[in-house]
Amino acid sequence: MKRILVTGGAGFIGANFVRYITAHTEVHVVVVDLLTYAGNPESLKGLPEERVELRIGDITDAKLVDELVSSVDAVVHFAAESHNDNSLHDPAPFVNTNVIGTFTLLEAVRRHDVRFHHISTDEVYGDLELDDPGRFTETTPYNPSSPYSSTKAASDLLVRAWVRSFGVRATLSNCSNNYGPYQHVEKFIPRQITSILNGERPKLYGAGTNVRDWIHVDDHSSAVWTILQHGAMGRTYLIGADGEQNNRDVLGSILESMGHERDAFDMVTDRPGHDLRYAIDASSLRNELGWRPQRQDFSEGLAQTIKWYRENRWWWGLLKTQTEERYSAQETTNARALAARGTEQ
Ligand code: NAD
Ligand code: DAU
């Protein structure tokens, strides 16, 4: 593999993946990214220009996608609308990018017989009860809850159908919650870190008992690179690093690491339809492909992430103001939606 196309390479995980393969391989990377509110070319700053090329464009643009796909050996598809809260307020871009965008890429890789890896999420499986000892596996039935996760589920099914019907050479991966540098400040961990850095109190949705299965973004990158090289065609691999924690504990650790009391936060209106718990069983990836996570020490990863946000205010300062304005507007709508459904807050 000499040249790959990375869609969404100016977003959080895409940019970290481009950094990972630039550091660990000789591969030439073409990034295609629309630079939506979530994309930032600065996230690729400092990478060698002769190795990494950024093309600004939309993955639903069939002509552009065809041209880009025809020039590479493989496509790694990260581009998406990725935030659940936004999908509850304006689902249209989620259907467009996540479903039509994936369809457009699949048609291009089919025409040019190019290897495809589809990045997806554990949210396609819905959620687990807090006291359920089980975890998601590759055979867990799809049961998505939000407009975001349902469009990701739709995109996964398109990929599976293109493999079966047209013989497209594709693999899929469904990963749990990522954290690390360059993550948009709308997401839980960076939102809380940057609020504390701004002297504001963090906001916890509901009671904070919801559980997420945290993985450092570098471990996601190494898993994707492993699958791209050694994955079996048509297979789905679950990516996770045994990092289950509830939101209250994660927020307590952030506050403590930053010199505050663990309970120095406000409880705010819950997210409508809020998934309770995600948990990944990544044994296929471990046993069949020999992948191992290297960044499982959450305290260490969190401390490095806090340090990164402390030192890179230039990257997030403006985004923070815009994001909190958006959240204020969304909170009023959420409260109305929950009241209309008679859901307790
Ligand atoms: P992100 O929102 O940070 O980045 C998405 C990127 O896609 C942005 O750079 C954006 O500009 C680009 N993009 C959006 N629409 C586009 C379009 N129409 N054409 C071209 N580019 C477009 O998202 P992320 O958190 O980095 O997630 C990346 C992928 O990983 C997504 O597919 C997401 O579903 C998946 N995923 C995320 C997580 C997580 O914890 N963040 C976990 C599992 C899977
Ligand atoms: O599981 C994988 C998914 O993880 C990815 O597919 C998504 O793209 C990614 O955004 C993430 O989804 P979540 O909804 O789990 O992530 P988020 O960071 O939005 O929220 C994490 C948890 O924290 C969730 O239970 C909601 C809660 N939360 C979030 C925010 C922004 C809060 O309590 N307060 C907040 O301010």
Contact between 51 and 28 under an 8 Å Cβ cutoff? The reply is yes
CB-ligand 2 contact for 187 (6 Å cutoff): yes
| Spacing, Cα 163 to ligand 2 middle (Å) | 31
Average predicted confidence (pLDDT) for the chain: 97
Q: pLDDT tens, 73-99? A: 999 999 999 999 999 999 999 999 999
Among 238, 236, 211, 232, residue whose Cα is nearest residue 136: 238
Task: State both tokens at 53.
Answer: 């090329």
In the block, residue with structure tokens 């994660």: 250
| Spacing, Cα 248 to ligand 1 middle (Å) | 25
Q: Within a domain: residue 135?
A: yes
**CATH number of the CATH domain containing 165:** 3.40.50.720
Task: State both tokens at 128.
Answer: 């687990």
Among 182, 188, 245, 302, say which to mutate for ligand 2: greatest number of ligand atoms within 8 Å of CB: 188
Q: pLDDT tens, 176-199? A: 999 999 999 999 999 999 999 999
Q: From CA 222, how far away is CA 304, in angstroms rounded?
A: 19
Q: From CA 153, how far away is CA 182, in angstroms rounded?
A: 25
CA 155 to chain CA mean position, Å: 14
CB-ligand 1 contact for 323 (6 Å cutoff): no
Contact between 273 and 146 under an 8 Å Cβ cutoff? The reply is yes
Q: From CA 214, how far away is CA 178, in angstroms rounded?
A: 6
Q: Is the dihedral of CA 120, 1, 115, 98 positive or negative?
A: positive
- Of the listed ligands, the closest to the CA of 175 is 1
| Per-residue confidence (pLDDT) for residue 344, from 0 to 100 | 47
**DSSP tag of 135:** -
In the block, residue with structure tokens 């809260």: 85
Q: Which domain holds residue 231?
A: 3-184+214-246+277-299
Among 65, 97, 105, residue whose Cα is nearest residue 81: 97
Report CA-CA distances (Å) from 336 to 54, 264, 266, 332.
42, 27, 19, 6
When divided into structural domains, the chain yields a total of 1
Among 87, 151, 187, 217, say which to mutate for ligand 2: greatest number of ligand atoms within 8 Å of CB: 187
Q: From CA 205, how far away is CA 301, in angstroms rounded?
A: 23
| Spacing, Cα 338 to ligand 1 middle (Å) | 27
CB-ligand 2 contact for 269 (6 Å cutoff): no
- Of the listed ligands, the closest to the CA of 127 is 2
**pTM to 2 decimals?**
0.97
Report CA-CA distances (Å) from 222 to 241, 248, 341.
12, 29, 42
Q: From CA 18, how far away is CA 21, in angstroms rounded?
A: 5
Calculate helix-pair angle for 247-257, 188-197, nearest 10 degrees: 30
Closest-lying ligand 2 atom to the alpha carbon of residue 278: 1
Q: Which residues pair with 77 in a beta bridge?
A: 7, 118
99 — phi, psi (to 5°)?
A: -95, -60
Contact between 136 and 142 under an 8 Å Cβ cutoff? The reply is no
Q: pLDDT tens, 26-61? A: 999 999 999 999 999 999 999 999 999 999 999 999
Q: Which residues are catalytic?
A: 122-123, 148
Q: Within a domain: residue 99?
A: yes
Q: Within a domain: residue 265?
A: no
CB-ligand 2 contact for 177 (6 Å cutoff): yes
| Per-residue confidence (pLDDT) for residue 234, from 0 to 100 | 98
| Spacing, Cα 51 to ligand 2 middle (Å) | 33
241 — phi, psi (to 5°)?
A: -130, 35
- Of the listed ligands, the closest to the CA of 119 is 1
Q: pLDDT tens, 222-275? A: 999 999 999 999 999 999 999 999 999 999 999 999 999 999 999 999 999 999
Among 173, 194, 212, 345, say which to mutate for ligand 2: greatest number of ligand atoms within 8 Å of CB: 212
Q: From CA 223, how far away is CA 267, in angstroms rounded?
A: 35
Q: pLDDT tens, 265-321? A: 999 999 999 999 999 999 999 999 999 999 999 999 999 999 999 999 999 999 999
Radius of gyration of the chain (CA): 19
- Of the listed ligands, the closest to the CA of 181 is 1
Contact between 212 and 240 under an 8 Å Cβ cutoff? The reply is no
Q: Within a domain: residue 103?
A: yes
Q: Is the pLDDT of residue 343 over 60?
A: no
CB-ligand 1 contact for 74 (6 Å cutoff): no
| Spacing, Cα 17 to ligand 1 middle (Å) | 12
CB-ligand 2 contact for 191 (6 Å cutoff): yes
CB-ligand 1 contact for 119 (6 Å cutoff): yes
Q: Within a domain: residue 101?
A: yes
CB-ligand 1 contact for 14 (6 Å cutoff): yes
| Spacing, Cα 300 to ligand 2 middle (Å) | 21
